Amino acid sequence: MDSDLIHNDSFDPEDAYAAEQVEWLLQWNNHLCMESDVAATALKMQLISVNSLKEKLKLKLDQLGEMLDDEFQTLKAKLEETQNKIHLLIDRDLELRRTVEQLTHDLQFVTLQKDQLTIERDGMVLKLEEQESSYKGMVAKQDQQIRSMQVIISESQHEICQKEALRRQLLVDLEGQEQVHLQQMEAQRQSLVENNEDSITCSICWVTWDADGDHRVVSLACGHLFGHSCIRNYLMRSESCPICRQAANVQHIRFIFGRHVLPNQTQ
């Protein structure tokens, strides 16, 4: 309203009250303008400070964004590494599960084999016990047989000793009898040689015949003995035995095998 009064064309400059009001209004308007300029300057300073703070905040936000990006990349890499580890752990877990299943299967198989082997072992133990019992019975029989054999051997040894002593005695007796027999044979041989010296000589040449050679002993069909060469030459001249005059020829000559032919042996 007062400003309207100032700009109003009906303002009367001679009016003291109105002039005083206008003056006051002008001073007030100037004061307001000064305060507005100070406020505008302050606002400008605040705006500059706000802009500076905004730039700083933007810079910090950029730095923070870069840090967050770095941390995000780091966390992303760690997450990927963790996921890879998780996949590896899952694969290992699957492999371990398969291994556990295989081991469980193997354990069941081994347990089955163990049960079968236990059954076989029990059967073998039972057989061994039976064989051991049979073996003990056989050992007892063998011990009894051994004792019997020892008794028999002892008795046999005693009999062998007795028979050995008897054999030695018989050998001594036989040696004595052999010596006596040899002596008797030697005496008989000497007697035969002395008494029958004429019976081992050829009755044609009166020379002892030989066991072989030209003058070996031969006989005729009549049984008389001669030297081979003597009787052959004789039969060339006469066809009869020189002793008994029985008919004879060269075909009747027979060889006599032996060094000495005695009359007692030919009869």
The pLDDT tens digits for 239-251 are 899 999 999 998 9
Domain assignment of residue 261, given as a range: 196-266
255 domain residue, yes or no: yes
Among the residue ranges 46-55, 116-125, 178-187, 192-201, the one predicted with the least confidence is 192-201
The pLDDT mean for the chain works out to: 80
* Domains: count for the chain: 1
Residue 263 has pLDDT above 70, yes or no: no
Instruction: Tally the residues of the chain.
Output: 267
The CA distance from 1 to 120, in Å, is 128
250 domain residue, yes or no: yes
186 domain residue, yes or no: no
The CA distance from 186 to 200, in Å, is 18
Q: 218 burial class (0-12, 13-18, 19+ CB within 10 angstroms)?
A: buried
Give the domain CATH number at 249.
3.30.40.10
What mean pLDDT do residues 76-104 have?
A: 88
The CA distance from 261 to 267, in Å, is 11
Q: What are phi and psi of 260, to 5 degrees?
A: -120, 130
Give the count of beta carbons closer than 10 Å to the beta carbon of residue 220.
Answer: 22
228 domain residue, yes or no: yes
What mean pLDDT do residues 84-89 have?
A: 89
Res. 119 pLDDT band, cuts 50 70 90: very high
> Which of 33-47, 51-65, 84-98 shows the highest mean pLDDT?
84-98
113 domain residue, yes or no: no
Res. 65 pLDDT band, cuts 50 70 90: confident
240 domain residue, yes or no: yes
For residue 241, the model assigns a pLDDT of 93
261 domain residue, yes or no: yes
151 domain residue, yes or no: no
Instruction: Check if the beta carbon of residue 243 is closer than 8 Å to that of residue 224.
Output: yes
CA distances to 5, 122, 238 from 247, in Å: 231, 107, 9
